[in-house]
Structure 1
Amino acid sequence: MADILTDPRPGPAAQVPDFPMPRAARCPFDPPPALTAAQEEGPLTKVRLWDGKDYWLLTRYADQRAVLLDPRLSADLTRPGYPLQMPVTDGGNTASFIMMDDPEHARLRRMVTAPFAIKRVDAMRPAVQKIVDDLIDEMLAGPNPVDLVEAFALPVPSLVICALLGVPYDDHDFFQENSRLLISRDTTVEDRTAAHGRLAEYLDRLMGEKMQHPADDLFSGLVARVQAGELTRLGAAQMGVLLLLAGHETTANMIALGTLALLEHPEQFALLRDTDDPRAVAAAVEELLRYLSIVHSGRRRAVLEDIEVGGQVIRAGEGVIMPNDIANRDPEVFADPDRLDLTRDARRHVAFGFGVHQCLGQPLARMELQVVYGTLYRRIPTLRLAADIDDLPFKHNGGVYGVHELPVTW
């Protein structure tokens, strides 16, 4: 009876699908068809990862939110059963606080919470607006067509996070290239470890400079924590790697992929192009976050004690994967979920996760996207693709989905 409760597969010969799952070629904005089928068939199933092991896959919105609040599951990648996204060679020693449990997770997270508070982020809006306007000016004065990723989508969040952290933007080629290596599933363990090491060494050198010449930036604040004995120098460097990577990669991909989705839905593009209502722009941002959900590796947890989900018992020592992209397409929560509708109230989405580990930088990401989506299409109302969508290079090999290039013209 226990075997029946803990394994929904019809029998030992049943094929367990690999995860991540491939997308349909003609549906670049939708979750993989196999994920949709899994959601329709039941609350959970088994999938197989790169390590040849099977883990539980939760596809429904309500189940994911409940599990992400459950203290019987751990975000610590060193726990037995944790579904590693890719191989690690250091036993998890370079893991950031997002892969720790409370109370240590909460202690470290509090050290970097203040700069991402909503009031602090809103105070940055004029500076972000200037960055966006200046980059659009440069685009309009430069070559046409242009790669929107290189000319706009990547520089906007890179400039913003550099200013917030106190990292020189002149070094953006270095940290962008190493960030790409870190999040690609095609990168070898050795190359990924080397990329992390280069970023950590770079930030460690910067830390030495901040110790001599502190400034009003987040990284100087972390240096002060190191000097006070609240944080190790290695811990500060690792935290810096996380914030630098997450602060530009995810938002850059949302800018480019969101623009592509809008260009493929002209009536929705027109809604943003023709409005100057900040509430309408904010609602559009939430719907694009729901519809695209660019972090596709899934939230992952190790089970510490037996739990029950959807009538199935998941045992201690097993692992759980929760892809937020399919949860955000749950028809029980979002009517007609595969339709992009910028007038929809999509604020309940889980694109930023849920619970104590939800994305620390979500206020900053929201503000940046509001400025971008509320400005770019009004400034360039005739923006359109300069290539066939079938020829665009999509990022199928990483934990963050998007396009490598987005040729546009006007």
Structure 2
Amino acid sequence: MLNFQLSMPTRILFGRGEVEKAGAEAAKMAGKVLLVTGRTATRKTGVLQRVINSLETAGVEVVVFDKIEPNPRTHTVDEGGRIAREEGCELIIGLGGGSPMDAAKAIAAVALSGHPSHEYIAGNQTGRWRELLPVQEALPIMTIPTLAATGSEANNGGVLTHEETKEKGGFSGPALFPKVTIIDPELTFTVSPEYTADGAVDMFTHLYEAYLTGADDALVQDHLTEGLIRAAVENGPIAVQEPTHYEARAALMWASTLALIGLTGAGRGGSFPMHQMEHTLSAFYDISHGRGLAILAPAYFKRVAVDRPDRLARMGRNCFGVTELDDKVAAEKTIDAVIAWFKSMNVYLKLSDLGIEREMLATMAEESVRVGGRGQAFIPATRELDVKEVLAIYEESF
């Protein structure tokens, strides 16, 4: 196991009805808040009004910023930061899926610094890698997730899209840990089967990426990762078929949080090649992140089956019920099992099904390596994924 440092300062309130405590929690930190959410979903389901009522009952003044799009844009975040600053908001609340929560973190930084948000994301249009300083200062943040997917509710990172350069890049920093997150699984009852499945795929990907690319001597982390993958595999299809199944929804919510809170990656290292490759797709075509990850996975796993068959085989045996003893055979069976799981949630598709144009694949492969390679001519994985390799994965997924 590698040496590591781990910080998990976010206080977590988890369970039925916990959303009603939003006002009491916010009142401990602020008299006026910016409530950041998406354009329609939380308003349609009534969750937005429930949170507003809770805040106002606690004596907290609310400014609603409901302009966050899927794959949030830097210009939207900059507007939110300006409004928070002009209104004198003392706390930023992210309500919704990963996009509003990521946007809330960036808004908290922009509101305090006044810097454009694109300065916080990594990479730039010249092709030179830019590793920015971590965000050291931001307004306090609270998160209320309504989707089990990204794990953004309790970590200190996020992802933004800069439309001008078609970049989708990450940002992070110690100031971006939410002070508190309220995780109420009942808020996910109204999530569509499609987004439920996409979320399950996203958390699965968070878990397997470092598991397959990192050190293989982090035994505790292996067991944690495998347990969380099993939770996603078992409960994803249940939640898709039975949207109000509380235990399935609760399992997915908790697995989502634990998947990206630092526990499974500590002492392991590893890389996130799938996210790097998919971020380019959703930056260019604004597709669902989880759907893009599902489409790319089979082609990526074929390479892992060659490079590290033992690791893929172990995942198959411990998470998908694969029984073959030979690692190479078991690795291939694992790919079949993952595809079967995708099919059970109706997310086994091709890039062409989402309107992506074949003639754009080469351009996106170059962009993926430029941004995801972090100054190198490849994305690190179980092998070096250069432009040619990334293009091959895109082609096989088309």
State TM-score, norm by structure 1. Answer: 0.29
Q: Which has the higher contact order (CA 8 A, sep 6+)?
A: 1
Q: Which has the higher helix share?
A: 2
Q: Which has the higher strand share?
A: 2
Q: Under a length normalisation based on structure 2, what TM-score does the superposition of the two structures give?
A: 0.29
| Higher Cα Rg, which structure | 1
